[in-house]
């Protein structure tokens, strides 16, 4: 049986980056115990702004200021859209079962769409990506205004969606104008919360005497941060270092870790190594020197560990989607792995933000509905 665990990973362009993101994740599933058949989650800069699932059947803002930013009418429209997506995704999932000659079992159909906005250059990028059972299915190339079939079974869908010119025109408008404008509204109203800077607590963790030492930082915000090991105060690439990804905490803050293979280090050289954390908005680095006496572990009883039982957690696992969805969220315009390059597009050929919606006569139903996968 497949394992349906979604690790939410954030693209981190570095501590000087000014790239803002708004992303929506939809997941339809079948035969997953104790999990809604449909879940939708919205994020701005990695912060959860709202949630919908097939059990509650309501789009619920994460914070009151999100509702203030969007307005009650917009929240209601999000609920209506999510309910529509729920019905369509269920139909997609059933049709894909047939297309892949599958009967029963655990399956997922997923979508990630949204936009990026650089508040210095004004560059906007949009993306719309679908996956089935943890693998790419079909992705939108907005610049070329075509869909890219990642599977042979997606080719029929590509032809149907390529021929829907009205919907493609709406995509162009939504991802280059409406999406970034909604993101800006949320960011402006929630500026005091989203533009804050929180420094983390940093600990050194170790599972066993022979395990790598993990430098773990948690509770920081925003996610524009870096962490690394250095030797003799010099920032250089070290052997035996494994960098983890930035992951979200339940309270909207973030965590990350970086491992150091101590088997490559002589005992007398430990004090030459430091774990360094850097975050946008804070000039001074936070450092922790490699020292056996401060390492927390559940195996050390009396050799300086003080009997402290450390909860060695270096990742947050959120039960939302399949492992294959991880790659989608890592993708950014600056670094996009093979298979996803068609989904990130510049707005160089789009209309300016001051122009009107080219599809203003298009009904809400037509704008929201795509040809079902069949």
Domain boundaries, the chain: 19-193+319-368, 201-296
Q: Name residues whose C-beta falls within 8 Å of residue 88's C-beta, 6 or more positions apart in sequence.
A: 369, 370, 372
8 Å CB contact between 145 and 126: no
Q: Which segment of 91-100, 156-165, 233-242, 303-312 scores lowest on mean pLDDT?
A: 303-312
Residue 311 in this model has a pLDDT that exceeds 60: no
Q: Identify the three-state secondary structure at position 359.
A: coil
Q: Name the average pLDDT for the chain.
A: 77
CATH superfamily of 201-296: Immunoglobulins (2.60.40.10)
Q: How many CB atoms lie within 10 A of CB 336?
A: 18
8 Å CB contact between 92 and 74: no
* Cα separation values, 360 from 58, 169, 268, 344, Å: 26, 11, 70, 25
Residue 95 in this model has a pLDDT that exceeds 50: yes
Query: Which residue's entry shows tokens 């050289």?
Result: 269
pLDDT of residue 53: 93
Residue 300 pLDDT level (bands cut at 50, 70, 90): low
Which of the given ranges, 53-62, 106-115, 182-191, 304-313, has the highest pLDDT on average? Answer: 106-115
Separation CA 217–CA 198 (nearest Å): 12
Residue 303 pLDDT level (bands cut at 50, 70, 90): very low
CATH superfamily of 19-193+319-368: MHC class I-like antigen recognition-like (3.30.500.10)
Q: Identify the three-state secondary structure at position 311.
A: coil
Q: Which of 330, 20, 358, 58 is nearest to 179 (CA)?
A: 20
How much of the chain is helix, strand and coil, in % rounded to 5?
A: 25, 30, 45
Separation CA 352–CA 350 (nearest Å): 6
**Residues 310, 314, 319, 325: what is their CA dihedral angle, to the nearest 10 degrees?**
-170
Would strands 213-220 and 225-231 be described as parallel, antiparallel, or unpaired? unpaired
């Amino acid at each position: 049986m497949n394992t349906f665990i979604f690790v939410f990973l954030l693209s981190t362009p570095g501590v000087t980056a000014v790239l803002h993101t708004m992303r929506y994740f939809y997941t339809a599933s079948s035969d997953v115990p104790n999990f809604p058949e449909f879940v939708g989650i919205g994020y701005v800069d990695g912060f959860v702004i709202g949630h919908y699932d097939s059990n509650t059947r309501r789009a619920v803002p994460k914070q009151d200021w999100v509702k203030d930013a969007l307005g009650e009418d917009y929240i209601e429209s999000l609920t209506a859209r999510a309910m529509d997506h729920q019905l369509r995704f269920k139909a997609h999932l059933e049709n894909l079962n047939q297309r892949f000659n599958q009967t029963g079992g655990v399956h997922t159909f997923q979508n990630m769409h949204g936009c990026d906005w650089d508040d210095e250059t004004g560059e906007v990028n949009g993306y719309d990506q679908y996956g089935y059972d943890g693998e790419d299915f079909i992705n939108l190339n907005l610049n070329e205004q075509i869909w890219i079939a990642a599977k042979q079974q997606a080719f029929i869908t590509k032809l149907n969606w390529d021929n829907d010119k009205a919907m493609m025109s709406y995509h162009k408008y939504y991802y280059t104008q409406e999406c970034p404008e909604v993101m800006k509204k949320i960011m402006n109203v929630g500026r005091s919360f989203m533009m804050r800077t929180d420094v983390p607590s940093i600990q050194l963790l170790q599972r066993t005497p022979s395990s790598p030492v993990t430098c773990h930082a948690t509770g920081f915000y925003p996610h524009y941060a870096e962490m690394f090991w250095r030797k003799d105060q010099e920032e250089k690439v070290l052997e035996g270092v494994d960098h983890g990804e930035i992951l979200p905490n339940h309270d909207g803050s973030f965590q990350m870790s970086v491992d150091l293979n101590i088997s490559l280090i002589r005992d007398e050289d430990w004090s030459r190594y430091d774990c360094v954390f850097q975050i946008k908005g804070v000039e001074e680095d936070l450092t922790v020197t490699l020292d056996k006496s401060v390492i927390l572990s559940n195996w050390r009883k009396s050799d300086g560990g003080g009997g402290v039982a450390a909860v060695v957690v270096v990742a947050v696992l959120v039960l939302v989607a399949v492992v294959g969805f991880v790659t989608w969220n890592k993708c950014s315009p600056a670094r996009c792995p093979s298979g996803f390059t068609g989904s990130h597009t510049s707005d160089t050929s789009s209309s300016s933000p001051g122009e009107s919606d080219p599809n203003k006569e298009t009904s809400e139903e037509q704008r929201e509905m795509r040809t079902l996968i069949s």
